[in-house]
Structure 1
Amino acid sequence: VLTLKASLVGVNHFLMVELKALKGDKIKETSKFKRENSALKKSLDAAKACNNEIESRVS
């Protein structure tokens, strides 16, 4: 019984470590996504500004 209990504690600990690792990966992916999204928004803003400049010169 003690061996079974010890192995369950070991498995539980292993799963907790794995879960923390997965959460860490998820946080990294989320921050990477936010950085990429921010870069895309900046590119879009630059394109809009360029478009506005062209429109103002044409009219």
Structure 2
Amino acid sequence: MAITMQNFGLTWTDPDGTARASVVSYDRASADDRKRELEEAGASGVEVVATRPGERLVPKG
């Protein structure tokens, strides 16, 4: 049975209004943890986005 690895990145807006995107890939559990950390730090619009290996997210906005 093959195991499919799924990668995730995050996009968000800092409290000062700067759009950001992660430059690393996370597994789902780690991405959810990072999302919670960002929200606790005051970031808004935090989204977990599925990515392909090597894909870099672009900040929104």
TM-score, normalisation: structure 1? 0.32
Q: Give 1 or 2: higher strand fraction.
A: 2
**Structure richer in helix, relative to its length:** 1
Name the TM-score, length of structure 2 as normaliser.
0.31
Asked which structure has the greater CA Rg, the reply is 1
Q: Larger RCO: Structure 1 or Structure 2 (Cα < 8 Å, ≥ 6 residues apart)? A: 2
